[in-house]
Amino acid sequence: MKTVFAKLLLISLCVVGSGFSQETGQSYIEFEKARFLKTSENNNAKYLGDSSFDVGYYKLDLNISYSPQSLSGIVTVSARSLGDILTSVFLDLSDALSVDSVLSNNLSCQYSHSENKLIISLDKPYSPDEIFTLTIFYHGVPVTTGLRSFVFDSHNEQPSIWTLSEPYGASDWWPCKDTPEDKVDSSDVWITVPDNLIAVSNGTLTDEIDNGNGTKTYKWKNSYPIANYLISLAISNYSVYKNYFRYSNNDSMLVIHYIYPEDLDELKPQLDKTTEMLELFSDLFSEYPFIKEKYGHAQFGSGGMEHQTITSIGIFTDGVIAHELTHQWFGDKITCRNWENIWLNEGFATYGEGLYYEFSEDKSAYNSFLSYHINRSKAAVGSIYVEDVSSISEIFNGNRSYSKGAIVLHMLRGIVGDSVFFNILKNYLNDPFLAYRTATTEDFERVAEETSGLQLNYFFNQWIYGKNYPKYNLEWDFQQAADNMYDVNINIEQSVNTYPQFFTMPVKIKISTSVGDTILSLFNDAQNQKSSFRISGKPTQLTFDPNNFILKDLIISDPAVLLPQLNLEQNYPNPFNNSTVIGYTLPQEDFVTLKVYNSLGQQIATLFNENGRAGEYKINFDGSSFSSGIYFYRLAFGKRIITKKMLLLK
């Protein structure tokens, strides 16, 4: 048995190398989107689209051929004028595609197409709030950019055609206002493909038409608000696997999976978990946002992408399935208003994975999840708020947007407590200004403050816009104040950070005493802060942030009175017949010898002769080969020597 004390107790929140690789956070960060980043460093500058009009509806009527690869389309855009007198507008559309004609309110109109902008002269001047419709006829072979916006792919020698538009790639394959800020109220996607393929998109399949010419047309209708980057297509020779999510006694929703035929049998057990996750997240967050339509998966290249009502997915781990499903609430129902605030999508979806582990598996999976993301959060460089949205790898930075974003939610939960935390999530999702719309950090902060009654500006300011994390150096001691009352003095010092200079956080401190534990609360809002508390019972240990809510490094210096002293115990039993136990305590690490001598001073045994670490030790002395009499045992530790006497009686 060995107990180890140390003068400086270095507590690190995280378990380094905990091996959190069980189909977890690691999997989706490596594979969700970041996997595609190799192709992505070409990207658009910060760009918000034409702000002179508000789009209300998109219809994509696409005809897609795999061999030869081609796309032709008719895209209809309904919009409302925001300008004074609007005479021309622009849409975003890749120069790789050719525009054949443009109609403005069904009248042929002038347009020009260059530098990935389609500038359209409207059929007449439009006053504020007037509605107009644009129809764009175009064709070409899309050139993929970013996270691979449009891909003619294959599996098992079969076609697989898919899209992943986030963040700037929708305009690689259809004309649109390429910004998450302008969500439309509804959308239609009609896809004509060779009749051996199935074409999948958002919302409900309203019609499947055999055109009698070797092609089929799939008509998908989405009746909910949607951001342009969440409009998707996925086309292959899919096998279809259906489940149902029963969300009340009388109602159920279709859960449908479009899977490559060769993979379906193997994937069914994983796919079946989707309905149980829908139940959990509906409880924790509020009703699934697209309950009148469906949820589903369409298999594609790799990773995952939370297309509205139909996640594109290539890795079917618990983590990725939970992550993309969480996005239906956080990302799809409420969309980050701009890419600077991507943590409102990715931090929340990452935390959703953790919630699945917490509520469905044993606590250790959740703790591993936290350790993994705490490690990554500590490695994060820069603020969670994305300063350079021209770089896709900055937007989808795993350490910041995903891991640290999730840990910020974990910390918020620590501050407000479980029930308030989940009320914040529900109130956010159902806020009339945010539900089915877009949000920024300030919107989430407002809801968190309204729900908790707490002022939380310091929290979001330092964790979302600030960098790094607090590094605490804590010293404490205590004095007896009365009978069994003690004054505990705590000094918390933070290393100086760039911004914020130090972190303001409410902290809990547990003092273990001879009569039980006392939890102290203090609001740490200074670089160097001293506090005193009177408690009952003699303190034996201090634990800072006992539930590990704060992302931090921590060094605690315990009071000298609690540190172990060098000690050599009397052997037991004594006198002894043949065998006895000798105990000793080392206050710190040093070279140690423990030797036994006879009454003539001759050394007869060496029990320990090497470096010893701080702690308590018990060691056995076997005297069976020696005769009865007095013996001495001697502990040498550094320059200090302690000797004791023992009696062997046979």
Q: Please, what is the minimum distance in Å from the beta carbon of residue 441 to Zn ion?
A: 17
Q: Please, what is the minimum distance in Å from the beta carbon of residue 464 to Zn ion?
A: 18
Q: Please, what is the minimum distance in Å from the beta carbon of residue 58 to Zn ion?
A: 23
Q: Which residues, in sequence order, are CB contacts of 366 under 8 Å at separation 6+?
A: 354, 357, 358
Q: Please, what is the minimum distance in Å from the beta carbon of residue 65 to Zn ion?
A: 31
| CB count in 10 Å sphere of residue 483 | 6
For residues 34 and 554, which CB has a smaller minimum distance to Zn ion in the complex?
34
Q: Please, what is the minimum distance in Å from the beta carbon of residue 24 to Zn ion?
A: 14
For residues 26 and 580, which CB has a smaller minimum distance to Zn ion in the complex?
26
For residues 136 and 164, which CB has a smaller minimum distance to Zn ion in the complex?
164
For residues 188 and 324, which CB has a smaller minimum distance to Zn ion in the complex?
324
Q: Which two tokens stand for residue 470?
A: 């607090």
* 71-84 as b/e: b if 16+ CB within 10 A: bbbbbebbbebbbe
Q: Which two tokens stand for residue 32?
A: 């969700």
- N- to C-terminal Cα separation, the chain: 28
For residues 50 and 346, which CB has a smaller minimum distance to Zn ion in the complex?
346
For residues 187 and 312, which CB has a smaller minimum distance to Zn ion in the complex?
312
Q: Please, what is the minimum distance in Å from the beta carbon of residue 291 to Zn ion?
A: 21
Q: Please, what is the minimum distance in Å from the beta carbon of residue 139 to Zn ion?
A: 32
Q: Please, what is the minimum distance in Å from the beta carbon of residue 323 to Zn ion?
A: 5
Please give the single-letter amino acid code of residue 254: L
Please give the single-letter amino acid code of residue 569: E
Q: What is the side-by-side order of every strand in the sheet holding 505-513?
A: 516-524, 505-513, 539-544
For residues 285 and 576, which CB has a smaller minimum distance to Zn ion in the complex?
285
Q: Which residues sit opposite 608 in a β-bridge?
A: 594
Q: Given CA atoms 289, 292, 295, 298 in this order, what sign does their dihedral have?
A: negative
For residues 402 and 428, which CB has a smaller minimum distance to Zn ion in the complex?
402
Q: Please, what is the minimum distance in Å from the beta carbon of residue 274 to Zn ion?
A: 16
Q: Would you count residue 409 as binding Zn ion (CB under 5 A)?
A: no
Which region among 178-186, 343-351, 468-476, 553-561 touches Zn ion (by CB under 5 A)? Answer: 343-351
Q: Please, what is the minimum distance in Å from the beta carbon of residue 620 to Zn ion?
A: 58
Q: Which residues, in sequence order, are CB contacts of 511 under 8 Å at separation 6+?
A: 488, 517, 518, 520, 533, 535, 539, 541, 542
CA 370 and chain centroid, separation: 9
Can you tell me the distance from the alpha carbon of 468 to that of 381, in angstroms, rounded to the nearest whole number?
A: 7
Tokens 């009749």 found at:
195
Question: Which stretches of 451-544 are assigned E, i.e. beta strand?
Answer: 471-480, 485-494, 505-513, 516-524, 528-536, 539-544
Can you tell me the distance from the alpha carbon of 557 to that of 150, in angstroms, rounded to the nearest whole number?
A: 57
Among candidate residues 314, 322, 309, 240, the one with its CA nearest the CA of residue 273: 322
Contact 472, 509 (CB under 8 A): no
Output the residue with the shortest Cβ distance to Zn ion: 349
Which region among 219-227, 339-347, 370-378, 549-557 touches Zn ion (by CB under 5 A)? Answer: 339-347
CA 40 and chain centroid, separation: 22
Q: Reduced to 3 DSSP states, what percent helix, strand and coil does the chain have, rounded to the nearest 5?
A: 25, 40, 35
Q: Please, what is the minimum distance in Å from the beta carbon of residue 344 to Zn ion?
A: 11
Q: Please, what is the minimum distance in Å from the beta carbon of residue 330 to Zn ion?
A: 9
For residues 294 and 323, which CB has a smaller minimum distance to Zn ion in the complex?
323
Among candidate residues 475, 478, 459, 470, the one with its CA nearest the CA of residue 527: 470
Contact 82, 127 (CB under 8 A): no
Among candidate residues 551, 235, 254, the one with its CA nearest the CA of residue 404: 551
| Alpha helices, H only, 299-390 | 318-329, 343-360, 363-379
Q: Would you count residue 334 as binding Zn ion (CB under 5 A)?
A: no
Which region among 80-88, 269-277, 289-297, 344-352 touches Zn ion (by CB under 5 A)? Answer: 344-352
Q: Please, what is the minimum distance in Å from the beta carbon of residue 29 to Zn ion?
A: 9
Q: Which residues sit opposite 86 in a β-bridge?
A: 126
Q: Would you count residue 102 as binding Zn ion (CB under 5 A)?
A: no
Q: Which two tokens stand for residue 436?
A: 């089915």
Which region among 55-63, 342-350, 442-450, 482-490 touches Zn ion (by CB under 5 A)? Answer: 342-350
Contact flags string 529-568 toward Zn ion, x per CB under 5 A: ----------------------------------------
Which region among 221-229, 312-320, 340-348, 491-499 touches Zn ion (by CB under 5 A)? Answer: 340-348
Contact flags string 582-621 toward Zn ion, x per CB under 5 A: ----------------------------------------
For residues 218 and 281, which CB has a smaller minimum distance to Zn ion in the complex?
281
Q: Would you count residue 322 as binding Zn ion (CB under 5 A)?
A: no
Q: Which two tokens stand for residue 237?
A: 């020779």
Which region among 92-100, 221-229, 347-355, 502-510 touches Zn ion (by CB under 5 A)? Answer: 347-355
Q: Would you count residue 447 as binding Zn ion (CB under 5 A)?
A: no
CA-based angle 63:69:75, to the nearest 5?
30
- The correct pick among 170, 184, 315, 349 for binding Zn ion (CB under 5 A) is 349
For residues 175 and 405, which CB has a smaller minimum distance to Zn ion in the complex?
405
For residues 346 and 443, which CB has a smaller minimum distance to Zn ion in the complex?
346
For residues 285 and 621, which CB has a smaller minimum distance to Zn ion in the complex?
285
Question: Which stretches of 164-266 are assigned E, i.e. beta strand?
Answer: 186-194, 198-200, 204-210, 215-222, 234-236, 239-246, 252-259
Q: Please, what is the minimum distance in Å from the beta carbon of residue 373 to Zn ion?
A: 14
Which region among 193-201, 345-353, 482-490, 536-544 touches Zn ion (by CB under 5 A)? Answer: 345-353
Q: Please, what is the minimum distance in Å from the beta carbon of residue 231 to Zn ion?
A: 17
Total interface residues for Zn ion by CB under 5 A: 2
For residues 392 and 556, which CB has a smaller minimum distance to Zn ion in the complex?
392
Query: How many CA within 13 A on the CB side of residue 296?
Result: 28
Which region among 214-222, 255-263, 270-278, 346-354 touches Zn ion (by CB under 5 A)? Answer: 346-354
Q: Which two tokens stand for residue 46?
A: 């910060």
Q: What is the DSSP letter of 404?
A: I
Which region among 40-48, 53-61, 70-78, 348-356 touches Zn ion (by CB under 5 A)? Answer: 348-356
For residues 321 and 349, which CB has a smaller minimum distance to Zn ion in the complex?
349
Residues contributing to the site for Zn ion (CB under 5 A):
346, 349
